[in-house]
Amino acid sequence: MLKLSGKSVYKGVALGPVVVLRPRDQQVKRTKVEDADAEIDRLEKAGEKAMNQLAELYNKAVEEVGEASAAIFEVHQMMLEDGDYLEAIHNIIRTEKINAEYAVARTGDNFAEMFAGMDDDYMKARAADVKDISNRLIRNLMGKEDVDFNSIEPSIIVADDLSPSETVQMDKKKILAFVTVHGSSNSHTSILARMMNIPALIGVPMNLEEIHTGMQAVVDGFLGEVFFEPSEEICCRAEGRIKEELEKQQLLQNLKGKENVTLDGKKINIYANIGSVGDIGYALENDAGGIGLFRSEFLYIGRSDFPTEEEQFQAYKQAAQMMAEKKVIIRTLDIGADKQADYFNLGKEDNPAMGYRAIRICLKQTDIFKVQLRALLRAAAYGNISIMYPMITSVEEVLRIYEIVKEVQEELEKMQIPYRLPEQGIMIETPAAVMVSDELAELVDFFSIGTNDLTQYTLAIDRQNERLDDFYNPHHKAILKMIGMVVDNAHRCGKWAGICGELGADLELTEEFLRMGVDELSVSPSMVLKVRQSVRGITVFGQ
């Protein structure tokens, strides 16, 4: 038995088989080979295997998401057979007498760079595809299989680190827990684990060469411990804890249909945060009063090209219809920093958290923004959708957004496409927005406080940096004062203010939020009933 400790980002217990995920961007070593023909032979076999994998992926995608979205796998097949690409790899193997893995990696990088430098947006986006097929070839050459989530039983996912794009592509029903060597508690991967209600440990000092797929493990998110090949005693203890947790969950079920009201009659809205339409099921199961934050950027990541207006329209419309008349607040694209999609070609930045991200991309690349706005305005005709803009710092940005929205409205009208202009709000997640929240409140319909970024920017602490986790303190007086100030400024203009950052689910602060007059808390679906339980036990104006 091997026992290791880490930092828990979601409390829960899991017991089951391990699946070790290898990084998608492989570290490829350059080695000399004697026999170039043998290397080319290996390359051909890896290529045949890749063609079969892509054919399977294509068929699966046609069934699940339709032919148009599946077409990307056909594009990958064509690229794999491209004469220039293969010739470049062969040349490197023959002239330098080096291993196929290295030749593929170098060719992939060269081609990706070439595509990224092209003027045409379609060609630019192919940079991500050529990297993707090169990585697939390398994995096949190294004999490292992709994990096929269809064929595994529910498992504990072990990895060095996980990016949001990897996490979001996983089949949630197949994940019992996450255990990673790296990662920070405030990263989007941790947020996704909480959203998915999955026990997760980060910062576990594992040697991944010693951990194998198929091993058994117990993850204890309460104690922050993981046991590989656990003893019978540990397994029994884990089974007991899992049962206990289930019983607690069942008790919470009694709160379904009940009001979010304090003992002295103060009411608050409790909504859910989601990352995809697929999460709406969790929001409904947990009786969320609405969706307080739909992180729409997850529609953009984990794929190799922009989602079309139609795809987005369908997703937003479905979300609105599934939630019936309940509010669905969709945040516009908040890509950048840890949420990356290669085809955006955002480039490396020294300070990505303070970089080209979120609304800044939308205001610069209005073509991307307009596609999303068109989809949102069209979908708003089908339900109770609100739009929310992230990373706002000034009144001028909001005014510019309104100009763009106006242009989109005019376009839709000209084309006689039905739409509705819904409620529009902003995230308050920069200190600048807090300081001008009195002016912003006059312009927008609501505020939603993003405490994750607000903490990062106020305390000058990179939320991605795992070494700073101990300094990242959202309970800091500065943050609490800011929340109070934002709520007061909203109310002064007759607007509502909520919290959609992780702090909203912090039960130690529920009472304080109620006293401040916060109107809404948007939390991960698994926390909705726990927050309701907490609210129902509080007397706000008691003593």
Residues with catalytic roles: 188, 500
User: What is the footprint of Mg ion within residues 425-484 (CB under 5 A)?
Assistant: 429, 450, 453
Pattern 48-87, Mg ion, x by CB under 5 A: ----------------------------------------
Pattern 55-84, ligand PEP, x by CB under 6 A: ------------------------------
Contact call for residue 47 and ligand PEP (CB under 6 A): no
- Least CB distance from residue 521 to ligand PEP, whole Å? 12
Q: Which token pair is 521? A: 């808390």
| Residue 377 half-sphere exposure toward CB, CA atoms < 13 A | 23
Longest dimension (CA), the chain: 83
Looking at the Cβ atoms of 191 and 373, the one nearer to ligand PEP is 191
Q: Looking at the DSSP assignment, which residues form a beta bridge with residue 428? A: 449
CA dist., res. 17 & res. 174, Å (int): 11
Binds 295: which of Mg ion, ligand PEP, none (CB < 5-8 Å by kind): ligand PEP
Q: Which token pair is 470? A: 């101990």
Work out which of 500, 521, 529, 535 binds ligand PEP, going by CB under 6 A. Answer: 500
Work out which of 139, 295, 378, 532 binds ligand PEP, going by CB under 6 A. Answer: 295
User: What is the footprint of ligand PEP within residues 234-293 (CB under 6 A)?
Assistant: 293
CA dist., res. 198 & res. 215, Å (int): 19
Beta strands in 358-449 (DSSP E): 385-389, 423-428, 446-449
CA dist., res. 328 & res. 272, Å (int): 9
Binds 139: which of Mg ion, ligand PEP, none (CB < 5-8 Å by kind): none
Given the structure tokens 């949102």, which residue do they identify? Answer: 376
Contact call for residue 429 and ligand PEP (CB under 6 A): yes
Pattern 437-476, ligand PEP, x by CB under 6 A: -------------xxxx-----------------------
Contact call for residue 430 and ligand PEP (CB under 6 A): no
Looking at the Cβ atoms of 375 and 499, the one nearer to ligand PEP is 499
Residues 6+ apart with CB under 8 A from 231: 1
Given the structure tokens 């828990």, which residue do they identify? Answer: 8
Looking at the Cβ atoms of 234 and 293, the one nearer to ligand PEP is 293
Binds 165: which of ligand PEP, Mg ion, none (CB < 5-8 Å by kind): none
204-243 in b/e form (b: 16+ CB < 10 A) is bebeeeebeeebebbbbbeebbbbbebeeebeebbeebbe
* Cα→Cα distances 501→123, 162, 169, Å: 37, 21, 23
User: What is the footprint of ligand PEP within residues 182-241 (CB under 6 A)?
Assistant: 191
Binding positions for Mg ion, rule: CB under 5 A: 429, 450, 453
Binding positions for ligand PEP, rule: CB under 6 A: 191, 293, 295, 334, 429, 450-453, 500-501
